[in-house]
Amino acid sequence: MVHTEHQPQATTDLLPIIDLGLYLQNPDAPEAIAESKRAADAIRDYGALIVKDPRVTEQDNNNFIDLMEDYFNQDFDVKLKDARPDYGYQVGVTPELTEDPKCPKDPHCLDIIDHIPEANRPLKFHGADPKWRFFWRIGEQPPATKFPRLNAEPVVPEAFKDVWSETMDVWGNTLHLAVLGLAEMIAVGFDLPKKTFVDMAQYGPHLLAPTASDLNKYGKVGTVLAGFHYDLNFLTIHGKSRYPGLNIWPRNESEKLAVRVPDGCLLVQAGKQLEWLTGGVVQAGYHEVIVNEATVKVIENKTNDRPLWRISSTFFLHIASDNILRPLEGVFDTEEKRAAKYPKIHTGDQVRKELGLIALLEK
């Protein structure tokens, strides 16, 4: 996935920063309610926001990234033992050049690109992404489910068996708590009962899902590490990456933003399940990860001997597989076209269809 034409520069700006601490202190306080409305406005207007959770430190993020760098720096065949293709790679490792972005096969995605001014379009890409990924389940398993392949047991890499589970669980649960708090704020901001989304997400197949790109192999300016796409889940939350390169398109329109995340903060992006539940009021945000001049500058200025891998410490919050996706009654179902575009569907079926489109699971 290499594109060698000149790269236009994305606008570099901070997304709205939401203070989750205000809500944690007293969710009924006027300041917390006002901040919740800001959160709902931000996720609607940008498809993304930055959240400051006082329970999260940059050291927590760094400890997790260190482990991921060490894991992905292992030999290819060693990592391949941790792959579970029979489960659609929804647990364990997904090798590079496996996840195939759906955009080239999706007329809606291609139409979005056609309407973006040439200078702000995503980099062209062909074929599967060169990134690796590891999926680790977080949260309670459902007591019963129609979708067992989306709720499989975790994989523990042999070389890291003494530290893996604890490290993954600590960071995964940290991100889980943060994004659940934000989900409450967004519900409040949209004048919904505060537990609306949290209750729907109980027993969801939530995934701590770090991605990893080998910058020794794929460190050239213009390389597409993750092609233009949206996330299929409800909300995605990330710690700060050590290497820049994430671009987003607010409401999937003409402006391209190069995302900057302050130390100690987390990035949150809207996924397809949130778009579904809001009848399109919130759009699943398209984004890409590329190697640009800023990425290369960080590589060149690197002074430590850490493995040269770009890690994204990503967590996917899902609506439970057995719950029904549809625009929420009385709030987001006021137009017939929304009901037609977002019909009732089991969340597990929505996920299976999406995984089929990105070549991870046979539909």
| pLDDT tens figures, 299-336 | 999 999 999 999 999 999 999 999 999 999 877 866 66
Residue 147 pLDDT: 83
pLDDT > 90: percent of the chain: 76
Mean predicted confidence (pLDDT) in 155-167: 96
pLDDT digits (tens, 9 = 90+) for 61-109: 999 999 999 999 999 999 999 999 988 888 999 999 998 888 888 898 9
Listed residue (218, 219, 230) closest to 287, CA to CA: 230
Burial 227-259 (b: 16+ CB within 10 A, else e): bbbbbbbbbbbbbbbbbbbbbbbbebeeebbbb
Residue 22 has pLDDT above 90, yes or no: yes
Residue 176 has pLDDT above 70, yes or no: yes
Distance in angstroms (rounded) separating the CA atoms of residues 83 and 96: 11
